[in-house]
Amino acid sequence: MRHQTHQVQIGSVTIGGTNPVAIQSMTNTPTADIEATYAQIVELVQAGSELVRITVNDQEAAKAVPFIKERMVAHGLKTPLIGDFHYNGHTLLRNHTDCAQSLDKYRINPGNVGTKEAHDYNFRTMVEIAIKHQKPVRIGVNWGSLDQELFTKLMDVNSWQKSPLSSQEVLYEAMVQSALNSAELAEKTGLTPDKIVLSVKMSDVQDVVKVYQILASRCHYALHVGLTEAGQGAKGLIASSAALAILLQQGIGDTIRISLTPEPGAARAREVEACQLLLQTMGIRNFRPLISSCPGCGRTDSDFYQQLAKQINDHISEKMPEWSHKYPGIENLKIAVMGCIVNGPGESRHADIGISLPGKTEAPIAPVYVHGRQYTVLKGQNIPQEFIQILDEYISQNYSISKD
Ligand code: SF4
């Protein structure tokens, strides 16, 4: 059951309510470098990012924003562009009206908008600009930049209690209160709930699950969910997936980001692919045909089936830009590539189309299954090419718009 939240229109995308969980990502180029930032936005959008955030950290970045947006519009990119502000957002938005107008949403970190009286004044300034330009805001609390005055105050109050909470529980409370107090201040300033998105990111899986559960139990604002500072490689992927899977399963999350540290030279768009795979493997949204393949074991005597799984995966990646226009519903296709007779025929029968390769003691033949029935048997050196040809024919026959 999805947690009930307000719908929020962010440029061309609506999140919250019953809208699909949207994928977002963030560039890591200097925003002032218009060429590089635009190129990375294109990369992220082509990978499937439905919202893209860029940092707006100084005057040069603020001046670049309208040119980046202009270029996106000129090339037909309707993906909402979000500005990420810290410390000086009130000044940049006030002094750069074109920037304020070009962005589709502002991210405000209430821990980084100043202290004492300046805190509320700076925060309200940004919200007033958002109201003036009819933009939504994300109040993005991060435990690495949590409002220390609030945390200290809550720790003090807690220490006077008969049964004080643990410092970790006070930390959760401070995260949630920082988000909710800021949302209250935003509403008092005139921003409506359908223009507010909240996030409370932490870097530990159990922490982020707990803090979002508390937040979701206390409000109906749309929620941006993610594990901050997730890390690199498998650690980042697994930690993010573990945290987001628990929350999504509980209906918490209207938009997600997987904040991976890229491997040197790796594509920034990996974080988008990770979000897609997470949503698809959880059965929440489908994006591309999925391949089920076995891990292999001593019954296989070569990496032949691994190669076949990779070839099919690469084939899908290459063809998807064309298929996604040509074949509606192609994202729901299930393919099986299996290593031997033990689970091969069974798994292949459960897929729309599957192939079971011969194990080392089996006859050198590879039965192909379509809709649960044996369709043909392949043998010889050209099994990969022949299977890919059968796959292409299957897709053409079953997903063409003109198949009726
Ligand atoms: S299907 Fe066959 S090759 Fe694959 S893991 Fe199972 S027993 Fe091993």
Q: How far is the CA of 303 from the centre of ligand 1 (A)?
A: 12
Q: What three-state secondary structure class fits 30?
A: coil
pLDDT for res 301: 63
**Cα 297 to ligand 1 centroid, rounded to whole Å:** 6
User: Does 354 sit in the ligand 1 pocket, CB within 6 Å?
Assistant: no
Question: DSSP state, 21?
Answer: P
Beta bridge partners of 368: 355, 376
Q: Is the CB of 337 under 6 A from ligand 1?
A: no
Cβ–Cβ under 8 Å, residues 337 and 309: yes
> Taking residues 295-300, what's their average pLDDT?
87
pLDDT digits (tens, 9 = 90+) for 241-275: 999 999 999 999 999 999 999 888 889 999 999 99
The residues near 322 (Cβ < 8 Å, ≥ 6 apart) are none
- Quick check: 61 and 89 in contact, CB under 8 A? no
pLDDT of residue 403 exceeding 80, the answer is: no
pLDDT at 402: 57
Task: Classify residue 79 as exposed, middle or buried by CB count within 10 Å of its CB (0-12, 13-18, 19+).
Answer: buried
Q: Where does 290-403 sit in CATH, by number?
A: 3.30.413.10
pLDDT, tens digit, 9 for 90 and up, residues 315-368: 999 999 899 999 999 999 999 999 888 888 898 889 999 999 888 878 888 999
**Neighbouring C-alpha atoms within 13 Å toward the C-beta of 375:** 20
Mapping DSSP onto H, E and C, the string for 304-355 reads: HHHHHHHHHHHHHHHHHHHHHHHCCCHHHCEEEEECCCCCHHHHHHHCCEEE
Cβ proximity of 225 and 255 under 8 Å: yes
Query: For residues 120 and 185, is the Cβ–Cβ distance under 8 A?
Result: yes
pTM (two decimals)? 0.94
Rounded to an integer, what distance in angstroms lies between the CA atom of residue 62 and that of residue 364?
63
**Average pLDDT of the chain to the nearest whole number:** 95
Question: Which SS3 state, helix, strand or coil, does residue 146 take?
Answer: coil
pLDDT-based confidence at residue 306 (cuts at 50, 70, 90) = confident
Q: Is the CB of 294 under 6 A from ligand 1?
A: yes
- Delimiting residues of CATH 3.20.20.20 domain(s) in the chain: 8-281
The total of other beta-carbon atoms located within 10 Å of residue 356's CB is: 29
* 108-121 average pLDDT score: 93
Give the residue whose CA is nearest to atom 7 of ligand 1: 342
Tell me the pLDDT tens digit for each residue of 50-108.
999 999 999 999 999 999 999 999 999 999 999 999 999 999 999 999 999 999 999 99
Closest CA to 101 of 124, 81, 87, 85: 81
298 lines ligand 1 (CB under 6 A): no
Beta strands 137-142 and 105-108: pairing type? Answer: parallel
Strand-strand pairing, 51-55 and 22-26? parallel
Ligand 1 centroid to residue 356 C-alpha, Å: 10
Tally Cβ neighbours within 10 Å of residue 283.
Answer: 7
> Is 197 near ligand 1, meaning CB less than 6 Å away?
no
Q: Which residues in the chain are classed under CATH 3.30.413.10? A: 290-403
CA 52, 58, 62, 65 dihedral sign is negative
Query: What pLDDT is recorded for position 302?
Result: 67
Q: Atom 5 (ligand 1): residue with closest C-alpha?
A: 296
Distance of CA 316 to the CA centre of its chain: 21
Confirm or reject: Cβ of 339 under 6 Å from ligand 1: yes
384-399 residue pLDDT tens: 999 999 999 999 999 9
Cα–Cα distances in angstroms (integers) from residue 110 to residues 86, 113, 153, in the given order = 9, 6, 16
Tell me, in angstroms, the distance from the centre of ligand 1 to residue 330's CA.
27
Tell how far the Cα of 341 is from the centroid of ligand 1, in angstroms: 7
Q: How far is the CA of 281 from the centre of ligand 1 (A)?
A: 21
Ligand 1 neighbour 338 (Cβ under 6 A): yes
Q: Please give the Cα distance from 95 to 59 (Å, whole number).
A: 9
Give the three-class secondary structure for 10.
Answer: strand
Is residue 146 within 8 Å of residue 228, measured between CB atoms? no
What region does 302 belong to: left with phi over 0, alpha with psi -120 to 50, or beta?
beta
Mean pLDDT on 9-18: 98
Say whether pLDDT at 166 is over 90.
Answer: yes
Topology given in CATH for the domain delimited by 8-281: TIM Barrel (3.20.20)
What's residue 242's pLDDT? 98
300 lines ligand 1 (CB under 6 A): yes
The closest-lying atom of ligand 1 relative to the alpha carbon of residue 298 is: 8
Q: Is 266 in the pocket of ligand 1 (CB under 6 A)?
A: no
**pLDDT classification of 22: cutoffs 50, 70, 90:** very high
